[in-house]
Amino acid sequence: MLLLFFVVIGSAHALPPPPASIELNSSIGMEMLSRSMARSYWQVSIHYETQVNESMCGIASLSAVLNSLEGVDAPIDPIYAPYPYWTQGSISNDACVSRVVTPGYGVTRSQLASIAECFPKVSVLNVSAPSLDEARCLIRNALGRDNSHVISNFDRNGLNESGYGHFSPIVAYDAKQDLVLMLDVAKYKYPPLWLKLQDLVDAMNTFDIFANAYRGLLLVSTTTGDLRSCL
Ligand SMILES: *[C@@H]1O[C@H](CO)[C@@H](O)[C@H](O)[C@H]1NC(C)=O
Ligand SMILES: *[C@@H]1O[C@H](CO)[C@@H](O)[C@H](O)[C@H]1NC(C)=O
Ligand SMILES: *[C@@H]1O[C@H](CO)[C@@H](O)[C@H](O)[C@H]1NC(C)=O
Ligand SMILES: *[C@@H]1O[C@H](CO)[C@@H](O)[C@H](O)[C@H]1NC(C)=O
C-alpha cells in the first residue's frame, strides 16, 4: 500500500526533458511565449489533451486541433451528450478513421492527413520530410494566423527523448532563437517544450518503416491553399 501511495504522488512528468529543450514554465520559456507568434497556442492549449493510450498520439493531436478550428462542427460523443466536442473516442469511432486504421499500431502521417481532410470544411497540407527553410516558412505562416494549426510527426530519438515515432501539435515559433513550442500529447512523459527547429526538422526527416515513408508535418486549417507557396 505504501509503495502504491508513493507511485501515485510521484512527479507530474515521468521523464526529464532533453537538455537541448526549454520548459515552457521556465522564466525564459514564458518570456519566449509572450514574444512569439503564438496565435495557435492560445487556441490549441485550451483543448490540448493527453493521448488515451500509446497508439493515440495522432488522434489526440487532431482532436485538440479540430476543437480549435472555428466553423468546423464537432460530433456528439455520448459521454458528453448533448454537447458537441471532438474527442479521441468520437474520432476513433468515425467512419473517417475506420477506413484507414491499422489495428494495434496507430496512424501514419498519410493516414492522419486522410482522416483530417475527410471531415467537412477541414483542409490539410501533408508535407513529407521538409527542409529547415520549408519547415520554418510553413510553421511561421501557419501559426501567424487564425484557424491554422501544425501537427508534427517525428521520431523521439532525434530529440533525445524516450520512445519512437510520435505526433504532437506545434503551437508557437520564436524567431529570435529559431525555436518551436511543442505541446506533447504524452503529458505523462514530457511537459510542453521549446525545441530547436533544426532538431525537430532532423527528427521529422526520418523514415517510418510502418508507413514506408518519411515523417513530416500536417497543416490543418480551414484554408491551407496559400501555404503551398513555402514548398
Ligand atoms: C515546471 O514544471 C515542472 C513539472 O512539469 C516542475 O517540476 C518544475 O519545477 C516547473 N518549473 C518551474 C520553474 O516552475
Ligand atoms: C487505444 O484506444 C483506442 C480508442 O479508445 C482503441 O480503439 C484502441 O484499441 C486502443 N489501443 C490500445 C493498444 O489499447
Ligand atoms: C501524404 O504525403 C505522402 C508523401 O509523403 C503521400 O504518399 C500520401 O499519399 C499523402 N497522403 C495524403 C492523404 O495526402
Ligand atoms: C542528443 O544527444 C547526443 C549525445 O549526447 C548529442 O550529440 C546530440 O546533439 C543530442 N541531440 C539533441 C537534439 O539534443
What's the CA-to-centroid distance between 205 and ligand 4, angstroms? 16
Average pLDDT over residues 55-83: 96
The pLDDT value recorded for residue 225 is 66
The closest ligand to the CA of 124 turns out to be 3
- The helix/strand/coil state of 83 is coil
Q: The whole model's pTM is what?
A: 0.93
The closest ligand to the CA of 115 turns out to be 3
Position 187 pLDDT exceeds 80: yes
- Most ligand 3 atoms within 8 A of CB, residue of 62, 97, 99, 110 to mutate: 110
The pLDDT value recorded for residue 102 is 67
| Residues in contact with ligand 4 (CB, 6 Å cut-off) | 18, 20, 159-160, 199
Alpha-carbon gap, residue 92 to 81, rounded angstroms:
17
Are 55 and 105 in contact by the 8 Å Cβ rule? The answer is yes
Identify which has the larger pLDDT, 196 or 97. Answer: 196
Position 200 pLDDT exceeds 50: yes
